[in-house]
Amino acid sequence: MPGPDDAGPGPGPAVLVAGAGPTGLLAACELLRRGVPVRLVDQAPAPAPAPRALSLWPRALAILDDLGIGDDVRAASVRIDGYRYFTGGRPLAAFAFPPWCAARNLPQYETEALLTRRLHELGGTVERGVRLVDFAPTDGGVTVALRHADGRTERARTPYLLGADGARSTVRERLGTGFTGSTYPMTFAVLDTRVGGAALPSGEIRYYQAPSGTLVIVPMPGEVFRVLTALPAGAPVPGIADMQELIDARGPRGVRITEPVHHAAFRVHARRAAVLRRGRVFLLGDAAHVHSPAGGQGMNNGLQDAHNLAWKLAAVLHGDSPASLLDGYEPEREEAARRIVRDTDVQTRAWMVDGRVRVAARDAAFRLLDRTGAVTRFYAPVMAGHRLAYRPQRRTQGPGRPCGGVRAGELFPRGVVDGAGWALLLAVRPGAGTAWAEEAAAVAAGRRGVRSVRLDLPAVAPATRCRRPGYYLIRPDGYVSAHGHARDTPRLHDELRHTTTADAGRPL
């Protein structure tokens, strides 16, 4: 920690976010729009100009919609409607995305620019050239040491510290937690370029699988295409001419590199932090997990980390929820990261397949998936983020008699209940008894930040797929905290005690 000659502690009531990439920017924006003061620092003197991550899937887009920049993202990006695979230059398989699962491709620096603009609109700023070098827990908060560009070390106090400072996270290092996983043996080479000659489609990602390796072509805005290829361990990093040779050997015929925009090589890791939280310090984004670029999930995962944590912090700091609400961040996001690391690992290893027998088996599997439409029906919604569900922690989160509709831990269908904050949806059958609904609404009225919405069951059932009168306690991030039927209101009482606090003078 800082010595006696350093600057003394500042007032610093704000939550401190270390790292102003997409994850840190979103966390700061989400806290600010919920009325929580934020201090956002980043050691880099300026935003990184490299395109880096591209894909924004529908769940992340929904989060950006709620923030107010979703339309700007769509206007600046290109839409991806599917994947197409080739083997040995011949068509192998095509996987279409339903419109509700389509992704958008936008260079990371443009996503960051839109988030930064929104940050400024919300009254926030990024303190550049400020590096978090150490921290220590104190009573009711965290004391941090910040090194400024002029060499000055500042001490400040914050109620919570959010480490969104990337794969080489200082916060993770100072926490002393492991970063377990592996590094793939190959090097990835990437070239963003405009092309001439043969035309390339702008709405699909193409995978060209050859005995010498896989080459991927990804559309970007501005008629730019990303060419990504995996190189054997120890292979030299290819230059522009080498990348053209790789396109000629593995990819579509007649495509010429005309105007390179960005060229880089990198190693790929699949790692997760052993813990995502210790006391009042949290890890999110690349500080918490890194994985292969296959499937374009990295930035999306970090944005969902930030969204998950920010609303919980705001609810606790405003007194709307008990501090125990924060206990859910680690198990929920650790489970999500584990699934994404697993899925992207499977895709990456498909790129690495060699040998005639293994290649033939892989190609047969792709043909089968194409014929059955399984990817479109089952896997596209997973990639889109629609199928992510958090495992319930308590028996009272579900109904006494299960049904086959939307369950606790799943996303509630958007558009059924509008507005921010906690919502208690009461699905009531017209003409039937409603004493249970009136009791549930009265209970919710005694809790801070919870509003009740009463709708006729026939209007709700098509979205929820449950035809029994009942309730859905919906979290501020759109996930179902609890679901029950008319006779399950005692379970609702318990869940409201777990998740919200009582209004003064109106206990549960």
The answer to whether residues 177 and 60 touch, using CB atoms and an 8 Å cutoff, is no
449 vs 502: CA distance, rounded Å: 9
Class of residue 377 by CB neighbours under 10 A (exposed 0-12, middle 13-18, buried 19+): exposed
pLDDT at 506 over 80: no
Strand-by-strand arrangement of the 289-290 sheet? 90-96, 82-87, 204-210, 213-220, 224-231, 179-197, 255-273, 289-290
| pLDDT score, position 314 | 96
| pLDDT score, position 62 | 96
Round the CA-based radius of gyration of the chain to a whole number and report it: 25
Q: Is this prediction's pTM over 0.95?
A: no
Going along 161-203, which residue ranges are E strands? 161-163, 179-197
pLDDT at 11 over 60: no
| pLDDT score, position 235 | 79
Supply the angle between the helices 435-445 and 489-499 in degrees, to the nearest 10. Answer: 10
380 vs 17: CA distance, rounded Å: 33
Q: What is the mean pLDDT of the chain?
A: 91
**What does DSSP assign to residue 409?**
T
Q: Which range is least confidently modeled, 54-58, 81-85, 399-403? A: 399-403
| pLDDT score, position 233 | 72
Per-residue pLDDT reduced to its tens digit, 419-451: 778 999 999 999 888 899 999 999 999 999 999
Per-residue pLDDT reduced to its tens digit, 304-327: 999 999 999 999 999 999 999 999
At 13, the pLDDT band (50, 70, 90 cuts) reads low
At 407, the pLDDT band (50, 70, 90 cuts) reads very high
At 504, the pLDDT band (50, 70, 90 cuts) reads low
| pLDDT score, position 452 | 95
At 30, the pLDDT band (50, 70, 90 cuts) reads very high
Which of 166-175, 184-193, 294-303, 409-418 has maximum average pLDDT?
A: 166-175
411 vs 59: CA distance, rounded Å: 10
pLDDT at 120 over 60: yes
Which of 309-318, 358-367, 387-396 has maximum average pLDDT?
A: 309-318
Place of tokens 């919604």: 381
pLDDT at 237 over 80: yes
Supply the angle between the helices 22-33 and 108-121 in degrees, to the nearest 10. Answer: 20
| pLDDT score, position 344 | 78
Within 10 angstroms of residue 410's Cβ, the number of other Cβ atoms is 18
The answer to whether residues 132 and 18 touch, using CB atoms and an 8 Å cutoff, is yes
| pLDDT score, position 12 | 42
Residue range 241-268: mean pLDDT, rounded:
92
CA 347 from centroid of its chain's CA atoms = 19
